[in-house]
Chain A
Amino acid sequence: MAETIVPVGHEPVGHEPPPEVTHLRHHFATTEQQLDASMLGMWTFLITEVLFFGGMFTAYAVYRFMYPAAFASTSVYMDVWLGGINTAVLICSSLTMAMAVRSAQLSRERPLVLFLILTMIFGTIFLVIKYIEWHSKWVEHLVPGFNFQYNEAPQYTHHAQILFFLYFCMTGMHALHMIVGLGLLTYLLIQAIRKVFTAYYFTPVEMIGLYWHFVDIVWIFLFPLLYLIGYHHPK
């Protein structure tokens, strides 16, 4: 098990594992170089994602700067409890994902499968809570363009609609990323059950882990910006 694992790159000369194990492509000199290239590529993708979400965050910032009172008035309708629980659920899923990567790095097959399943369970809980929230928004007539009625502060009807539009766009894109993430985790789980990942080759686990943590980071910013604006103002 773990104690028999020689750190990759520290094998005695002539004892490197075969390409079926390391998945080393011919255009890379070493597995280290291959993993570094993958990491850099994944981070480049994540930076495009930062700018993708950044556009929506910029729109949010501009409209909040222009209509601060209208934005603060929406916090009456935001469920801080559900938002907070979802934040905790995502943090749990990030922990289990990090542990999954660690298990793969140590060639521990059963913990890897277990942590991947746990991550998927937390991700699913997040989406279920998200669905409950969206459904209550629909019931309360807070979906802009479909049934928007703003009885709490009618003078802010137009500008509060901007916030709810941003709310559905941003949490919607975030939820879409979660769904994609769950699909990727399903792929990882199948590969993990087939015992593909070892200390010599765990690149997909590491890459999808990075993606999962990034989605967590997006939520870390969404939570205070959408749920906690004007929460200090008593209703």
Chain B
Amino acid sequence: MTQHIDSVKAYVGVFIALIILTFTTVYVSQLELGEFHIIVALLIAFIKASLVAWIFMGVRHSSKMTRLFVVAGLLWLGIMMLITFGDYTTRIWDYTPQPWSQKPTVGGVH
């Protein structure tokens, strides 16, 4: 087996990057970013998670099959979120009749 043993330098480098990103996410959360607040927070979290997966979990040395599984997992998570939000963001909670949503009437009979 071709064993891939990462250097201590790589691990410590990722560790330092993760600590810096943790400080960054706390700092950024105090800024007035409005709607972008959550986007920046999730972006930093995604970068941190990718670093852990890529280096600490050794995805960079893993087989293509394993990588396919990792990507498939994220894809399935995306499907769950997308379809759930497809429902919640389009559901009409306070129903107000619109002109185009009236039932067509023919000769006064429904």
List the interface of chain A (C-beta within 8 A of B). Answer: 7-9, 30-32, 35-36, 39-40, 43-44, 46-47, 50-51, 54-55, 57-58, 61-62, 65-66, 80, 84, 87-88, 91-92, 94-95, 97-99, 102, 105-106, 199, 206, 209-210, 213-214, 216-217, 220-221, 223-225, 228-229, 231-232
Contact = CB atoms under 8 A, between A and B. Distances in A.
Given A40-B69, A62-B88, A217-B52, A106 B5 contact: yes
A97 B19 CA distance: 16
Q: Per DSSP, are chain A's interface residues mostly helix, strand or loop, or mixed?
A: helix
Interface string B28-66: 011111000110011011001100110111100011011
Contact of B19 (A8, A30, A91): A91
B106 interface: no
Most chain A beta-carbon contacts within 10 A, residue among B31, B38, B42: B38
26 contacts: A7-B1, A7-B2, A9-B1, A9-B2, A35-B1, A36-B65, A39-B62, A40-B69, A46-B73, A47-B69, A47-B72, A50-B74, A58-B80, A87-B22, A95-B11, A95-B14, A98-B11, A98-B56, A99-B8, A213-B57, A214-B57, A216-B52, A223-B25, A228-B29, A232-B32, A232-B33
A17 B44 CA distance: 45
Contacts of A65: 85, 88-89
